[in-house]
Structure 1
Amino acid sequence: MILAAGYGTRMRPLTDHTPKPLLKAGGKALIEYHIEKLRDAGIDSLVINSGWLGDKLADALGDGSRYGIPIAWSHEGTPLETAGGIKRALPLLGDEPFLLVNGDIWTDFDFQPLLAERPDPVHLLLVDNPEHHPTGDFHLTEGGRLRDNAEPRHTYAGIGRFDPALFAALPEGEAKLAPLLRAAMAEDTASGEHHQGQWWDIGTPERLDELDRLLTQR
């Protein structure tokens, strides 16, 4: 599932008429990098949620046929936050664990290892803390367990593998992901790994310009 329902408020005026995942860097929309990398990693179908300017997003990407991977749409209208959006999309996601990717990041991470069977209902990718988020989110132990009450902390990359049962009891409507993650950590049912390669959170027009320069030079 690719999360693509946000308003993109920090990216205005670029997002006044363009949904954030369709903003381009290196001549390609941010979300297209995810679609192609997930397809190449062995994912056989995608769910994308939409909110702000969702019709434009769906019109641009269609049913996925030109990317070689089927896309199903979960239209929210008013964005439901991450967990609420996942809850809405559960009928499309099925009963097996799924990968979750934020639509407004860029990374060179290889998604294929996340397809391996794992015992935990939560497995997150963490990255080094960027300048705009110096305190990080979660601690990763040497054994690959996630903790919310230890140092040092790394930043959640917006990429993870989840068991849909984690969201089954949520009521319909707006809901954040962080409380579910912290509950899993408290029960020691959350694992993680540290990606030390490229990772960009495209939260400002300036960061989009920086990424565009990087990818254009490549």
Structure 2
Amino acid sequence: MKAMILAAGKGERMRPLTLTTPKPLLLAGDRPLIVHHLDNLKRAGFADIVINHAWLGSQIEEELGDGQRFGVSITYSAEGEPLETAGGILQALPLLTGDGDDRFMVINGDIWCDLDLASLALPDDADAMLVLTDNPEHNPTGDFGLDRDGSVVTEGAPRLTFTGISLLHRRLFEGLLPGPRKLAPVLKGAIARKRVKGFHHTGQWLDIGTPERLQALDRLLTGGRN
């Protein structure tokens, strides 16, 4: 199975830091955010990784290269214009599937999580497995609910926050036309068809959406030395 790291956003809430540096290359714990993902994916057994990029994307390629020094193989999916999450995945599908496995992992480039990625599995009766977590202060109403049978729902269950980590099947994107497209409507359509499962992660997770949250992660990773 291959994995994709989403790294095409401009990181506007991170300005001025992201005016000259793409958000995935911002440092936390003395390493770029995206390198933490590479390490986590490698530990979980993912050897082939696709990274999409748009804003300052050449810097990401220059920093990471082909991935050899991180013990993985990296392929890039460059976007002339930002395609949003679903559009970016749709463009990268030929790089992610076609080798006998139509499943793949997707991770937002601007999060940090201590989840063991090898613990996730996509059931045969699902097109997506979403990792959900308890709601942080900046998202108090959550994104989705999780039923007792493990199904993700939009109504009628305690709300949790989508971590930006998922296992997906290429079936989820059947019939979609290329171009900018958000992931939420695609997921909600699959939820209505009862094709989305969820996993409640109770460990550490941070959405690195602001300079303050980046500093909080840096303190966490360095034990407060920085």
Question: For the residues of structure 2 that align with 1:11 and 1:116, how far apart are their CA atoms?
Answer: 33
The answer for unaligned runs of 5 or more in structure 1 is: none
SS of the counterpart of 1:83?
A: helix
Question: For the residues of structure 2 that align with 1:118 and 1:72, how far apart are their CA atoms?
Answer: 27
Q: Is the 8 A contact 1:122 1:160 kept in 2?
A: yes
Equivalences for residues 108-123 of structure 1 within 5 A: 108-115=114-121, 118-123=124-129
Task: Please give the root-mean-square deviation of Cα atoms over the aligned residues, in Å.
Answer: 1.2
Q: In the alignment, what sits opposite 1:105?
A: 111
The one-letter code matched in structure 2 to 1:65 is Q
SS of the counterpart of 1:47?
A: strand
Q: What do the CA deviations read for 1:25-74 (whole angstroms, capped 9, x no partner)?
A: 11011110111111110112000000100000111011101111100000
Question: For the residues of structure 2 that align with 1:60 and 1:83, how far apart are their CA atoms?
Answer: 25
Equivalences for residues 56-67 of structure 1 within 5 A: 56-67=59-70
Q: Is the 8 A contact 1:47 1:71 kept in 2?
A: yes
Equivalences for residues 198-209 of structure 1 within 5 A: 198-209=204-215
Q: Does 1:40 align with 2:46?
A: no
Aligned partner (choices 165, 168, 172) of residue 171 of structure 2 = 165
Q: In the alignment, what sits opposite 1:81?
A: 84
Q: Is the 8 A contact 1:127 1:154 kept in 2?
A: yes
Query: How many equivalent pairs are there?
Result: 218
Q: Does 1:31 align with 2:31?
A: no
Give 1:87 shift. 0.7
Q: Is the 8 A contact 1:54 1:77 kept in 2?
A: no
Aligned partner (choices 134, 143, 147) of residue 128 of structure 1 = 134
Instruction: Give me the TM-score of the superposition, normalised by structure 2.
Output: 0.94
Give 1:78 shift. 1.5
* More off after superposition, 109-118 vs 30-39: 109-118
Question: For the residues of structure 2 that align with 1:158 and 1:120, how far apart are their CA atoms?
Answer: 18
Question: For the residues of structure 1 that align with 2:176 and 2:136, how far apart are their CA atoms?
Answer: 31
Question: For the residues of structure 1 that align with 2:213 and 2:42, how far apart are their CA atoms?
Answer: 26
Give 1:142 shift. 1.4
Q: Does 1:150 align with 2:181?
A: no
The one-letter code matched in structure 2 to 1:57 is I
Give 1:118 shift. 4.2
Aligned partner (choices 172, 197, 206) of residue 191 of structure 1 = 197
Q: In the alignment, what sits opposite 2:16?
A: 13
Question: For the residues of structure 2 that align with 1:210 and 1:116, how far apart are their CA atoms?
Answer: 32
Question: For the residues of structure 1 that align with 2:47 and 2:125, how far apart are their CA atoms?
Answer: 22
Q: Is the 8 A contact 1:52 1:77 kept in 2?
A: no
Q: Is the 8 A contact 1:39 1:69 kept in 2?
A: yes
Question: For the residues of structure 2 that align with 1:133 and 1:158, how far apart are their CA atoms?
Answer: 13
SS of the counterpart of 1:139?
A: strand
Question: For the residues of structure 1 that align with 2:104 and 2:187, how far apart are their CA atoms?
Answer: 15
Q: In the alignment, what sits opposite 1:71?
A: 74
The one-letter code matched in structure 2 to 1:18 is T
% identity of equivalent residues: 53
SS of the counterpart of 2:19?
A: coil
Give 1:94 shift. 1.1
